[in-house]
Amino acid sequence: MRLGGRLAAAIEVLQDVEARRRPVADALKDWGLSHRFAGSGDRAAIGNLVYDALRKKRSYGFRMGDDGAVALGFAAVIDGLAIAPAELAAALEGDRFAPDMPSEEQLQRFTAADLGEAPEAVRADVPDWLAEKLNASLGEDWVEEAAALAERPPLDLRANTLKADREKVLKALAPLGATAADLAPDGMRIAAIAGAGRHPNVQVEAGFQKGWFEVQDEGSQLAALLAGAASGEQVLDLCAGAGGKSLALAAGMDNTGQIHAADHDRQRLAPIYERLARAGSRNVQVHDPREDMTDIFGRMDLTLVDAPCTGSGTWRRRPDAKWRLTENALAKRVEEQDAVLDRAARFVRPGGRLAYVTCSLIAEENAGRIAAFLERHAGEGFTVADAGARWNDLLPHGAGRCHVTALAGGTVITMTPRLTGTDGFFFALLQRSERTG
Ligand SMILES: C[S@@+](CC[C@H](N)C(=O)[O-])C[C@H]1O[C@@H](n2cnc3c(N)ncnc32)[C@H](O)[C@@H]1O
């Protein structure tokens, strides 16, 4: 396919996403199924245009004076692929699949528009209703913080120290341009794509098949590191999902002690078995959702709640979620977070810890849930640890590179693409006293 056909396809997918309010991955998959002639390069290029258009839907819409699918598609080509309008017109000339070029006036508006004159929510590329919440959560630089969530993400990997060290993996992945991550000790990064192109499919690499590395955002790796599971401990990963954190914890514990991996959704948990086997993780016991886990109540040194959340910290990777999010959905996540924290508390032994993680940047889901938990569980011996100090101890070269917020006598931290270069993550650690009421 030529550029014109790819652009027309991207516009069709954007129209589908808009009309049916459906996840972009589903819309792209359907497009692929009904256009089997399109090769993998075409699909990747179409996907890139769609994702770019959705990441910057509001600022592109402002600059174009139109936020319809056609305008957004053209904006993604001009801005994301860095093809100037005149060059684009020449490339589409004579291409019968290409959509009509926007008017000269619209193109000029796009190129000359001053985003400085746009409302904050437009510059931040977020829906209006979230502006106040993100401002409250991220402080005075919230517009720049949110705008960084509208950039393309890198591909992050974690060396699995049960099978290989980072140097060895970096050597194997040198042809893919992997470099050592800034902060996470076992992290590696393949930079965000500039212009056209796509990240390599690292899962077909021999090293991946042999379990030398996992795909995991650096922020997720850091959250597991901060949770601080020590060798020999009893650990519960209560929202284990496909096991990203369990795998990192197992490596950090050098396969000693015991990790209990649980999730209430069997389908989400299913991939964990294959991942554990590939990674050589032998200290993880997976609990079926139907299992009664009362026998480990009050026995965990560390209970990790990697909570269900809006995922607002991952908007670089799932920009469509940003436009689909509603106040009702946020309220539902908050309810789930309270419920899962209440359940988690039952597993923490006296003297044990409870780590709470989200990949959201909305304070209601983060510090707000911890404050509410402390109120509901007053007298049970939970206090907020100094996560900011913990960050500085573990990552001296990353000091000052995350948000540290005081909360109930301790501190909690937030990682953001702008400060940490990771997806957005929140981390809090609660310490339970030896003597509980
Ligand atoms: C953020 S995801 C977990 C990601 C995973 N820990 C990882 O690192 O790959 C949150 C998970 O919480 C699970 N969940 C939601 N409510 C739960 C509950 N009450 N009990 C257990 N799991 C729950 C969801 O099914 C989902 O898999």
The pLDDT tens digits of the residues spanning 306-324 come to: 999 999 999 999 999 999 9
In this predicted model, what pLDDT tens digit does every residue of 23-69 receive, in sequence order? Answer: 999 999 999 999 988 898 899 999 999 999 999 999 999 999 999 99
What tokens does 28 get? 């792209």
Would you give the DSSP letter of residue 83? -
Ligand 1: residue of 237, 264, 312 to mutate (most ligand atoms within 8 A of CB) is: 264
Residue 370: pLDDT over 70: yes
Q: How far is CA 301 from CA 216, 230, 258, in A?
A: 25, 9, 10
Asked if residue 306 has its Cβ within 6 Å of ligand 1, the reply is yes
User: Which of 63, 92, 118 is at the close of a domain?
Assistant: 118
Q: Do 240 and 360 belong to one domain?
A: yes
Q: Residue 48: which domain range?
A: 3-118
User: Which of 92, 118, 144 is at the close of a domain?
Assistant: 118
Count CB atoms within 10 A of the CB of residue 119: 12
| Prediction ipTM score | 0.99
> How confident is the model over 177-197, as a mean pLDDT?
95
Please tell me the predicted confidence (pLDDT) of residue 194.
87
Q: How far is CA 167 from CA 161, 188, 359, in A?
A: 11, 10, 28
Residue 205 forms part of a structural domain = yes
User: Which of 190, 212, 234 is at the close of a domain?
Assistant: 212
Residue with the smallest CA separation from ligand 1 atom 17 is 264
What angle, 0 to 180 degrees and rounded to 10, lies between the N-to-C axes of helices 244-252 and 272-279? 30
Residue 255 forms part of a structural domain = yes
Residue 355 forms part of a structural domain = yes
How far apart (Å, rounded) are the C-alpha atoms in residues 339 and 373?
10
Ligand 1: residue of 220, 259, 263 to mutate (most ligand atoms within 8 A of CB) is: 263
Please tell me the predicted confidence (pLDDT) of residue 170.
98
What tokens does 299 get? 């026995």
Closest CA to 221 of 320, 409, 123, 357: 357
Residue 148 forms part of a structural domain = no
In this predicted model, what pLDDT tens digit does every residue of 69-87 receive, in sequence order? Answer: 999 999 999 999 999 999 9
Q: What is the CATH number of the domain that holds 163?
A: 3.30.70.1170
Q: Do 195 and 273 belong to one domain?
A: no
Residue with the smallest CA separation from ligand 1 atom 25 is 265
In this predicted model, what pLDDT tens digit does every residue of 346-355 receive, in sequence order? Answer: 999 999 999 9
Residue 136 forms part of a structural domain = no
Question: Which atom number of ligand 1 is nearest to the Cα of residue 220?
Answer: 8
Residue 21 near residue 113, CB atoms below 8 Å: no
Residue 26 near residue 11, CB atoms below 8 Å: no
Please tell me the predicted confidence (pLDDT) of residue 179.
98
Predicted confidence band at 197 (pLDDT cuts at 50, 70, 90)? confident
Asked if residue 263 has its Cβ within 6 Å of ligand 1, the reply is yes
Q: Do 395 and 281 belong to one domain?
A: yes
In this predicted model, what pLDDT tens digit does every residue of 375-422 receive, in sequence order? Answer: 999 999 999 999 999 999 999 999 989 999 999 999 999 999 999 999
Question: Which atom number of ligand 1 is nearest to the Cα of residue 308?
Answer: 10
Asked if residue 260 has its Cβ within 6 Å of ligand 1, the reply is no
What angle, 0 to 180 degrees and rounded to 10, lies between the N-to-C axes of helices 387-394 and 218-227? 110
Would you give the DSSP letter of residue 80? I
Pairing of strands 410-415, 403-407: antiparallel
Q: Do 54 and 196 belong to one domain?
A: no
Asked if residue 336 has its Cβ within 6 Å of ligand 1, the reply is yes
Residue 242 near residue 269, CB atoms below 8 Å: yes
Burial profile 24-47: b = 16 or more Cβ within 10 angstroms, e = fewer? beebbeebbeeeeebeeebbbbbb
* 241: three-class secondary structure by DSSP: coil
Closest CA to 428 of 369, 362, 356, 358: 356
Predicted confidence band at 96 (pLDDT cuts at 50, 70, 90)? very high
359 is a catalytic site residue: yes
Please tell me the predicted confidence (pLDDT) of residue 435.
79
Give the Å distance between the CA of 79 and the centre of ligand 1: 36
Number of independent structural domains in the chain: 3
Rounded to the nearest 5°, which phi and psi values hold at 415? -100, 145
Q: Do 323 and 408 belong to one domain?
A: yes
What tokens does 196 get? 């056209």
Give the Å distance between the CA of 268 and the centre of ligand 1: 8
Please tell me the predicted confidence (pLDDT) of residue 436.
64
CA dihedral (431, 374, 292, 426) positive or negative = negative
Longest dimension (CA), the chain: 78
Sequence-distant (6+) residues with CB within 8 A of 24 are 13, 17, 50, 51, 54, 318, 319, 320
Q: Do 191 and 251 belong to one domain?
A: no
Residue 263 assigned to a binding site: yes
What tokens does 300 get? 């965990």
Residue 128 forms part of a structural domain = no
Residue 150 forms part of a structural domain = no
Q: What share of the chain is helix, strand, coil (3-state, %, to 5)?
A: 50, 15, 35
Residue 114 assigned to a binding site: no
Residue 287: pLDDT over 80: yes
Predicted confidence band at 191 (pLDDT cuts at 50, 70, 90)? very high
CA dihedral (431, 186, 276, 338) positive or negative = positive
Q: Do 227 and 313 belong to one domain?
A: yes
How far apart (Å, rounded) are the C-alpha atoms in residues 95 and 384?
62
Ligand 1: residue of 221, 239, 284 to mutate (most ligand atoms within 8 A of CB) is: 239
Q: Do 175 and 205 belong to one domain?
A: yes
Asked if residue 311 has its Cβ within 6 Å of ligand 1, the reply is no
Q: What is the CATH number of the domain that holds 321?
A: 3.40.50.150
Residue 125 forms part of a structural domain = no
Q: Do 236 and 259 belong to one domain?
A: yes
Please tell me the predicted confidence (pLDDT) of residue 437.
56
Q: Do 202 and 250 belong to one domain?
A: no
Give 258: exposed, middle or buried? Use CB within 10 Å, 0-12, 13-18, 19+. Answer: middle
Please tell me the predicted confidence (pLDDT) of residue 195.
83
β-sheet bridge partners, residue 356: 305, 428
> How confident is the model over 9-13, as a mean pLDDT?
97
Average pLDDT, the chain: 96
Residue 10: pLDDT over 80: yes
Question: Which atom number of ligand 1 is nearest to the Cα of residue 265?
Answer: 25
Q: How far is CA 174 from CA 190, 210, 213, 240, 253, in A?
A: 10, 17, 14, 31, 28
Q: Do 110 and 183 belong to one domain?
A: no
Please tell me the predicted confidence (pLDDT) of residue 146.
98
Q: Do 176 and 229 belong to one domain?
A: no
